[in-house]
Amino acid sequence: MCESTIPTAYCSLCPRHCSVNRSYGEMGFCRSLDLPKVSLVSTHMWEEPPISGTNGSGTVFFANCNLRCVFCQNHDISDSGYGLEIPIERLAEIFLEQQAKGLNNLNLVSPTQYGIQVREALILAKNNGLTLPVVYNTNGYEFVDFLQSLEGLVDVYLPDFKYMSCDLAGEYSGASDYPEKVKLAILEMKRQQPKDVFVDGLLKKGIIVRHLVLPNHYKDSLQILDWIVENLGTEAYVSLLNQYTPMHKAKEIPALSRRLTTFEYQKVTTHFLDIGLKNGFIQKRSSATSDYTPIFDLTGVANCKNRCDEEENSI
Ligand code: SF4
């Protein structure tokens, strides 16, 4: 049986180290309080093929974010914080409900700001029969000490590597130490899951590093690929996202106010091959649309029994 831990009073869950007491209503950069806030529970068909497969990935989207990038396509939940606060017990139930749907995995999307609560819920769900592979789908701005506490609970890491440049990280995410922190985080993820294990084309254990190529900054992307080869090797799985669309505050930032050109994306995919990377995923240009952004409407979040009671009462 897995053992539970007690959450810390002063939040130091991520590299922001805000030291606020979330239990007493104090908010740090991510504006999250003690209870996990969830925006949508859904079946996602548009993750990388070994994650979504044909049955889909069991996504749980968390509200708020410890990075809040100016171009975030999920800004309704990451910046505006739309979601419903639920007890840890309900979160564990949601995990088991995703498993009951026959999906390929449990996909925790932007869980970092609720890391301790998510960990507690995973332990509870595993003690109650959760066996689905657990995917930790993160922006990569993680505190290594916390990641170490997830060892044995997470099967697949799906981290972003957003910027190599401290200047870009500071300008677009207010986190100039992001490059340093994401490198340490990815190395810890690789330590926990050193081998990528596929069964029938689905990733059961391992790591896929995601990178969203930004307009006017493809040279930063080249440096990220170089780091991956030097530190994870040419067998590493890399997902190069071509779906950048100016959204949120990016519309007002000249360098980010247009879509990516074919030239820019090809520069990155050509470099991918030139430096010997063998495994990866590329996206068609038609992916650059807001159509792929889920509708965050709290589906699946509330306790079914309570919801059904409410519906009966309203008839
Ligand atoms: S999780 Fe939120 S409150 Fe905690 S350190 Fe990170 S940004 Fe600050």
Which tens digit of pLDDT belongs to each residue from 65-81?
A: 999 999 999 999 999 99
DSSP state letters, 23-92: GGT---TT---SS-EEEEEEEE--S-HHHHTTT-EEEEEES--SS--TT-TTHHHHTS---EE--HHHHH
The values of phi and psi at residue 61, to 5°, are: -90, 125
What's the predicted TM-score (pTM) here? 0.93
- Is 32 near ligand 1, meaning CB less than 6 Å away? yes
Residue 244: per-residue pLDDT: 95
Residue 292: per-residue pLDDT: 66
Q: Distance of CA 72 to CAs 56, 80, 135, 285, Å? A: 23, 11, 21, 18
User: What mean pLDDT is predicted for residues 2-27?
Assistant: 79
Hey, what are 11's tokens? 């939040």
Lowest mean pLDDT, pick from 138-152, 175-189, 284-298 = 284-298
CB-based contact 214:169 (threshold 8 Å):
no
Hey, what are 102's tokens? 């026959």
User: What mean pLDDT is predicted for residues 202-225?
Assistant: 98
Provide the pLDDT confidence category of residue 2 given band limits of 50, 70 and 90.
very low
Hey, what are 212's tokens? 């969203």
Residue 293: per-residue pLDDT: 80
Greater confidence, 111 or 312? 111
The answer to whether residue 302 scores a pLDDT higher than 80 is yes
- If you classify domain 22-314 with CATH, what class do you get? alpha beta
Q: Whose CA is nearest to atom 4 of ligand 1?
A: 11
Residue 284: per-residue pLDDT: 77
Q: How far is the CA of 249 from the centre of ligand 1 (A)?
A: 22
**Strand stretches in the chain, DSSP E:** 37-44, 57-62, 84-85, 106-109, 134-138, 156-159, 197-199, 202-212, 237-241, 279-282
Hey, what are 74's tokens? 């999920």
Residue 283: per-residue pLDDT: 85
User: What mean pLDDT is predicted for residues 220-231?
Assistant: 98
Mutating to test ligand 1, I would choose from 16, 22, 110, 139 the residue with most ligand atoms within 8 A of its C-beta, which is 16
User: What mean pLDDT is predicted for residues 161-175?
Assistant: 98
Q: Whose CA is nearest to atom 6 of ligand 1?
A: 14
Residue 161: per-residue pLDDT: 98
Report the SS3 class of residue 134: strand
